[in-house]
Homo-oligomer: A and B are copies of this chain.
């Protein structure tokens, strides 16, 4: 049998804190440098050292980015999960393992490649301090041997993984070569089932980056000048990346002056409070957090909604409720965020589905926040935020910032000071504000979370209250039209449609091609914002059955859509939910979809 080319799933099962992460990066960068599309997924514990961790690397010529269930190649370096890891590989898989792990009574439908990693490391690696770390590079070499990856690619992978540490290149290369050599000396005669071959044209102007990194860069390009955050997985890397970019792009090396303030707050309440204070004073301000942090931000979110203060809030979702599984992915905050805070509060929510959108929507978020003077939530998740994704290069923004309706001193002069903070002069329910510090005797107004009239004066008048609430509702409608429209891909003959959002996209794209091959076509609409686009109704109307696919237990998007549909269309909707904390696979969508299709409505 000929080996399959450029189509496999690799998995490394290791122990966290053992330094396998950089080895996995080397392998990933090596393969990518051959022009082969990659899709890495990191499954790690909520722990610092000693617990199981898995790294999955998918290689497909289609460039699929979704997780795949069962690996074709396994590197097993964790005795605690050895048997369980072995259970999960496909029949025919190549299993590279510590040679001491027993294969007695183990599966017989796979190929075993025992490697004495510890012994090799002890005898062949000279550097005592780095030995533990470098041991992992040995398996990179073995895998390169197995998959016929040229060693030059591994060298390239090393250089790209440690671009700023050329001093470390040689040691890593040497370690990788130990494994590469071991393969060739012991297993080269073995028949290969999978190989990798350089490709051209598939990864041109593609890059590899994490969603949180993209979001951070989006904040830089979007003109963010104040960020306040509190560490929490999986959102920490948004502000950590932001700080790194700020060091590069916002620091005046001559004067030491910084054109951004990034504050590690004492908790999430303070983080959002600082961002709101900054937004009120005119800065483009943001915070980023995850699950528990979102819960703690409820009160302040309501204040910003009601007092109409621009602020951007990133929620990199992890699995809840409560602390839940802090290192597992989810789309479980959607509904909660949409109406975050008591009373009739409703927010603008952006739903990036790709890393490019993490970048783009970060910028959009600041524009929308300024334009609608309200909190804008950007909902990403652990999968999108913390995994590397292959993406087209990001685009330099062509447009200037949209700072919204801000009255300057000159404007006020022109108006002779006649203005009202909450007066709807343009009929779009969006009103004008001034920034503190505006040098005009009538610039000031008073901001409060309690009842206020059009001139921002305190009032308990029932009429003023209701009128203001009605305007806020209308403002949401104005905003609805300004939110990123859904991405729709219709299939001419399709009777069924699929609606999804966020990182589920990758699996839907793949499932769509899989099912098309099986003769089942569906149209696809990807929601990119709340409030929902009116065009959703047309999509539903154009299809007989609609599957809403999402990564939470309660079908939150499914519910939100049902509430927006004319009643006669509601019955077309069906819900598919995936919520075990692992990124969704194409198969876990297409299987229930096929099952449900078999059942009459």
By a beta-carbon cutoff of 8 Å, the part of chain A in contact with chain B is: 45-46, 291-292, 294-296, 298-299, 301-303, 305-307, 319-328, 330, 332-333, 335-337, 339, 341-346, 448-451, 460, 462-463, 465-466, 469-470, 473, 552-554, 556, 559, 562-563, 566-568, 570-571, 573, 579-582
21 contacts between A and B (CB under 8 A): A46-B460, A291-B342, A292-B342, A295-B302, A303-B322, A306-B320, A325-B460, A325-B465, A326-B450, A328-B462, A332-B342, A335-B339, A336-B343, A336-B345, A337-B342, A343-B552, A344-B552, A465-B580, A465-B581, A466-B579, A470-B553
Given that A298-B295, A460-B45, A559-B563 are known contacts, is A341 also in contact with B320, CB under 8 Å in the complex? yes
CB pair B330 A462 closer than 8 Å: no
CB pair A299–B295 under 8 Å, yes or no, is yes
Could you say which residues of chain B place their CB within 8 Å of the CB of A307?
A: 322
Q: A302-B321, A469-B579 are known; give 20 further A-B pairs, CB within 8 A.
A: A291-B342, A295-B342, A303-B322, A320-B345, A321-B341, A321-B344, A321-B345, A324-B465, A325-B450, A332-B343, A336-B341, A336-B342, A462-B580, A462-B582, A465-B580, A473-B553, A562-B563, A566-B571, A567-B571, A570-B570
- Whether the Cβ atoms of A343 and B326 lie closer than 8 Å is no
Interfacial chain B residues near A326, Cβ < 8 Å: 450
Question: What 3 A-B pairs come out closest when comparing CB atoms?
Answer: A320-B343, A567-B571, A322-B449
Nearest Cβ distance between residue A567 and chain B, in whole angstroms?
A: 3
Q: How far is the CB of A400 from chain B (nearest CB, A)?
A: 32
Specify the chain B residue showing the minimal Cβ separation from A51. B460
Contacts of A448 in B (CB 8 A): 323
Q: Is the CB of A322 within 8 A of B344?
A: no
This protein's copies in its complex: 2
B328 touches A344 (CB 8 A): no
Contacts of A566 in B (CB 8 A): 571
Find out whether the CB atom of A292 lies under 8 angstroms from the CB atom of B296.
no
A332 contacts B320, C-beta separation under 8 Å: no
A343 neighbours in B (Cβ, 8 Å): 291, 319-322, 324, 330, 332-333, 336, 552
Residue of A296, A298, A342 contacting most chain B CB atoms (<10 Å): A342
Q: Is the CB of B553 within 8 A of A344?
A: yes
Q: How far is the CA of A571 from the CA of B566 in the complex (A)?
A: 8
Given contacts A302-B295, A562-B562, A580-B465, contact A341 B322 (CB under 8 A): yes
With a cutoff of 8 Å between Cβ atoms, the chain B residues found around residue A582 in the complex are: 462
Q: Which residues of B contact A450 (CB under 8 A)?
A: 46, 322-326
Smallest Cβ distance from A172 to chain B, in angstroms? 30
Complex CA gap A202/B324 in Å reads 56
* Cα(A562)–Cα(B559), bound, Å: 9
CB distance from A532 to the nearest CB of B (A): 14
B465 and A319 contact, CB distance less than 8 A? yes
- Cα A301 to Cα B321 with chains together (Å): 10
How far does the alpha carbon of A499 sit from the alpha carbon of B553 in the complex, in Å? Answer: 28
How many whole Å from A148's CB to the nearest CB in chain B? 33
A465 to chain B: which residues have CB within 8 Å? 319, 324-325, 328, 580-581
Task: Give the chain B neighbours of A473 by CB distance below 8 A.
Answer: 553-554
Looking at A45, A466, A473, the one whose CB has the most chain B CB atoms below 10 A away is A466
Smallest Cβ-Cβ distance to A44: which chain B residue = B460
Q: Is the CB of A449 within 8 A of B298?
A: no
Residues of B within 8 A of A339 (CB): 335-336, 554
Chain B residues, CB < 8 A from A291: 342-343
Q: Which residue of B lies closest to A582 (CB)?
A: B462
Contacts A342-B332, A554-B346, A571-B567; A321 near B306 (Cβ below 8 A): yes
Chain B residue numbers with a CB within 8 Å of A451 are 324-325
- Closest B residue to A580 by CB, please name it: B462
Q: Please indicate the chain B residues that have their CB under 8 angstroms from the CB of A553 in the complex.
A: 344, 469-470, 473
Interface hub of A294, A473, A567, A571 (most chain B Cβ within 10 A): A567
**B320 lies within 8 A of A302 (CB):** yes
The residue among A303, A346, A568, A581 with the most chain B CB atoms within 10 A of its own CB is A581
Q: How far is the CA of A379 from the CA of B465 in the complex (A)?
A: 22
Query: Across the interface, do A463 and B580 meet the contact criterion of CB distance under 8 Å?
Result: yes
Minimum C-beta distance from A100 to chain B (A): 26
Q: Inside 8 A of A341's CB, which chain B residues have their CB?
A: 295, 320-322, 336
Q: How far is the CB of A314 from chain B (nearest CB, A)?
A: 14
Across the interface, name the chain B residue whose C-beta is closest to A333.
B342
Say yes or no: A344 contacts B332, CB within 8 Å: yes
Bound-state CA distance A117–B291 (Å) is 60
Residue of B nearest to A459 (CB): B325
What residue of chain B has the Cβ atom nearest to residue A296's Cβ? B299
Contacts A343-B332, A563-B562, A568-B571: A323 and B460 contacting too (C-beta < 8 A)?
no
**Nearest CB on B from A205, distance (A):** 36
- Measured CA separation A483–B373 after assembly (Å): 41
Bound-state Cα–Cα, A299 to B559, Å: 23
